[in-house]
Structure 1
Amino acid sequence: MLKRSLTGAIAALALALPATAQETYTIGLTGAMTGPAAGTLGPAVEGLRLYIDQLNAKGGIDGRKVNLILQDDSAEASKAAANVKRLVAQDNVPVLVNASLSSTYAPMLAETRRAGVPVLFMGAVCPKEVLPPNADPLQFCSTGFAQTYDSRAALEYVKSVAKGPVNVGYAAMAIPVSRSEIDFAASEAEKMGFKTVAKEVIPPPTPDYTPFATKIKDAGANWAFSWAPWVTEIRTFEALRRLGWDGQFLTIAHLEAEGELPRVKDPKFYVMGANSFYADGLPIHKEIEAAAKSGGAKYPANQMTEGWLGGLALEAALRKAGWPATKEKIAAAMSDLKVDTKGLRGVPMVWTKDNHFRTQQAYRVYHWDGNKISVLQDWKVYDVGK
């Protein structure tokens, strides 16, 4: 009798354990956690991990924990494809995050489209497929920087502050998304009356930026603009200064930007971005700093904004999808979502059926004023798709 009761109890427990394991929300991620792009994308992954850890510590979503499965792809397309195949086929993730270079997109999307799984690009550059008016139903982006919108905003800023003729030298990384954005910027600049004097496309593993900077300087540029991974932006600028160039340099404020401004200490080095800096001292910044400290973060807290914003968006989508959160329900929830960015951005992040980037984008310009990081241009809001 005892043996029969014990056997029944074990069987009941065996049945109960899988059910308990399934009572969690699951998110899969492939990202550049190692390799040459890790300095830019690794902090976004860590920011999301810390966000999910904090969410789970508070009880998860309606009492259910969130299981975040991280896979490193080192920004290699083949690894990203293998990661996604495993996450979709073996782990059955109903939503996937990409935090890697654009070279991983095509093989990753081949797998997610086949499986009908929605993808959030987080910290990674937003593909054009998320933009209105024909957003892909399975692609979404929470990343602050974006093609065409960044360049238009940057050039408008230059026009608002420039005195006299503007001769622009451009610096791109030799990857498709950076090259195309610099081409777009140069075209838009010409419409504003600016003159393009140099356009340098720099290979990623470049030990010496001097030859490229020399061409920009010798061409007579008094402004320089770069839309590329941070390594290209900052090293091009520093090479120009070593050559004695005294022009003004505007670039996109990637995750590394806030930590670099006090190091560079150059008032004519301007960074424009959609994310607020921790120098602003907002409550959300202090919350992230505390999470980074308690969570043993590898990266500085001020580099984790993109990951935290991704966490805010995913939590909002999962809550709206309800339980069980199937891939279909999550995709539907993400297609009609408003996310309070809590001051990390100048405006809420709103996704609609036709717009999976956001309905508004706000930009700030920061620089080192000689003593501290300060705001040169406060939030300027642009309607996306208009």
Structure 2
Amino acid sequence: MKFLRTFAAAACVLALGAAHAQGEPGVTDKTIKIGLFGPLSGNSMAYGFDVMNAAKMYYDKVNKEGGVNGRKIELVVEDDRCNANDLLAAVKKLTEQDKVFALNGGSCSAAVVGAREYVEREQIPFVMLNASGDGALYPPSKYIYGAFSISQRAVGGSMVQFAAEHLKAKKIGYINHDDAYGGWNLEAAQFQAKKLGTDLQVQSINPNLTDVTAPMLKIRAANPDVLLITTYARPVGLLVKKAQELGWNKPIVIGVNGTADLKQLVENVGNKEAFKNVYIQEVLADVPGGPKLKWVYDMYKTYYPELAAKPGYPQTYMPYGIPPAMVVVNALKAAGPQLTREKFLDALSKTKIDTGVMAGPIELTAADHAGQKSAIYLKFDGENKTLVPGTYASQWTYQPPSDRRATPAARV
């Protein structure tokens, strides 16, 4: 009788746990439904197509190894085209129609930011894919985590630190976009320049500008020791080309935002001589395809042999899809078998993992939902990339408006 009572009690606990789990959207006793989205088509496909492929192959690997606390991950995939309207439509479909447990997606910051209000209203956990997403991360939202590639604040702070420390620059030319995206990286860049005692000469340009002569002439007139470019790829090509035409021979450092397709960048510039003194920011742990990342590229070849055989594949940002998937899995495991969104969100806020993919660890807290703040730098001659020793990590932190204090970026 004692055995029967114990067995009955255990069965009751399991039944209640299963019933509770099934009460959560997207959770059954055997599966966890995750909404995965990014640009699978359109002009910005390079920012997300292979990033999503990487996330998918990592989730599949986890499933083959037994899943998470006895459950397999089931993906529902949507195309957001890096467009705010399409992304919001995808998020609504995944939340309301597909009833996913959590969202994992977004490769373009502006599109991601536009979904913040809906995500908070629906109280659905949202783990970004590879978008910087500063506008959705600051001030912190209980439901949103991201910047697993790098935040835009970290982009700006890290680049200024690199220019001052490695390139010994006292005066720095800085070209960014004249929108919120550009404002995010400029905020940390200005903060870091002030801390280091360097002079920052800024030119903010429209993302659609077709003639960059005026801003480049102003930069040249200011006579900085180095030029930092934090724009998207198309303006980068125009700026590097114009710099060479104007006889610029000082270092140029290109932010990670503008390096989606370096081969195309060189073709757009039209002259390898323009890359004699160029550095590129990279947020991976190694040169793409280097020894530290070999396992990622080997996995890609196994999962997508036909794609891997095509020129241009895997795409530059492919490895970026693994860390956010790792974070999702890590938090699901930490949340335990009796899975709820609240437990998942709590686990996310206590995340600290070394992915082996990014330049620095992923660390999330209740006060900071931006995961990765480190960058490495590569010397790029138009064809070959050479690793510069050192990792440059931004230590800029968000402070409420009444308490604007911050700490500088540092080399680690």
TM norm structure 1: 0.80
- How far apart in 1 are the matches of 2:117 and 2:169? 49
Partner of 1:100, secondary structure, is coil
Pairs within 5 Å for 1:298-313 = 299-300=313-314, 302-313=316-327
Q: What is the Cα deviation at residue 290 of structure 1?
A: 2.0
Is the alpha carbon distance of 1:189 and 1:228 closer, same or farther for their aligned partners in structure 2, counting shifts above 3 Å?
same
Q: Percent identity?
A: 21
* 1:374 is aligned to 2:386: yes
- How far apart in 1 are the matches of 2:119 and 2:301? 35
- How far apart in 2 are the matches of 1:217 and 1:202? 19
Question: Could you say which residue in structure 2 is the equivalent of 1:104?
Answer: 111
- How far apart in 2 are the matches of 1:57 and 1:235? 46
The one-letter amino acid of 2:353's match is V
1:178–1:228 Cα contact (<8 Å) kept: yes
1:317–1:334 Cα contact (<8 Å) kept: yes
- How far apart in 2 are the matches of 1:62 and 1:92? 20
* 1:155 is aligned to 2:169: no
Question: Could you say which residue in structure 1 is the equivalent of 2:17?
Answer: none
Greater alpha carbon shift after TM alignment, 138-147 vs 228-237? 228-237
Structure 1 unaligned residues grouped into runs of 5+: 1-18
Pairs within 5 Å for 1:113-192 = 113-127=120-134, 130=137, 135-162=140-167, 165-166=170-171, 168-182=172-186, 185-186=189-190, 188-189=192-193, 192=196
Structure 2 unaligned residues grouped into runs of 5+: 1-21, 267-271, 398-406, 408-412
TM norm structure 2: 0.75
Q: What is the Cα deviation at residue 97 of structure 1?
A: 2.1
- How far apart in 1 are the matches of 2:392 and 2:202? 28
Q: What is the Cα deviation at residue 28 of structure 1?
A: 0.8
Q: What is the Cα deviation at residue 165 of structure 1?
A: 4.9
- How far apart in 2 are the matches of 1:68 and 1:113? 22
Q: What is the Cα deviation at residue 305 of structure 1?
A: 1.9
Partner of 2:94, secondary structure, is helix
1:171–1:182 Cα contact (<8 Å) kept: no
Partner of 2:127, secondary structure, is strand
1:172–1:232 Cα contact (<8 Å) kept: no
Question: Could you say which residue in structure 2 is the equivalent of 1:74?
Answer: 81
Is the alpha carbon distance of 1:189 and 1:160 closer, same or farther for their aligned partners in structure 2, counting shifts above 3 Å?
same
Greater alpha carbon shift after TM alignment, 192-201 vs 84-93? 192-201
* 1:253 is aligned to 2:253: no
1:154–1:272 Cα contact (<8 Å) kept: yes
- How far apart in 2 are the matches of 1:326 and 1:202? 44
Question: Could you say which residue in structure 2 is the equivalent of 1:199?
Answer: 203
Pairs within 5 Å for 1:173-322 = 173-182=177-186, 185-186=189-190, 188-189=192-193, 192-204=196-208, 206-207=209-210, 209=212, 212-217=215-220, 219-254=222-257, 256=259, 259-260=262-263, 266-278=275-287, 281-283=290-292, 285-296=293-304, 297=307, 299-300=313-314, 302-322=316-336
Q: What is the Cα deviation at residue 278 of structure 1?
A: 3.8
Q: 1:332 aligns with which of 339, 346, 353?
A: 346
2:281–2:375 Cα contact (<8 Å) kept: yes
Is the alpha carbon distance of 1:184 and 1:290 closer, same or farther for their aligned partners in structure 2, counting shifts above 3 Å?
closer
Q: What is the Cα deviation at residue 184 of structure 1?
A: 5.1
- How far apart in 1 are the matches of 2:82 and 2:145? 19
Partner of 1:246, secondary structure, is coil
Question: Could you say which residue in structure 1 is the equivalent of 2:363?
Answer: 350
- How far apart in 2 are the matches of 1:106 and 1:369? 35
Q: What is the Cα deviation at residue 26 of structure 1?
A: 1.3
- How far apart in 1 are the matches of 2:224 and 2:206? 17
Is the alpha carbon distance of 1:255 and 1:332 closer, same or farther for their aligned partners in structure 2, counting shifts above 3 Å?
farther
Q: What is the Cα deviation at residue 351 of structure 1?
A: 1.6
- How far apart in 2 are the matches of 1:164 and 1:337? 36
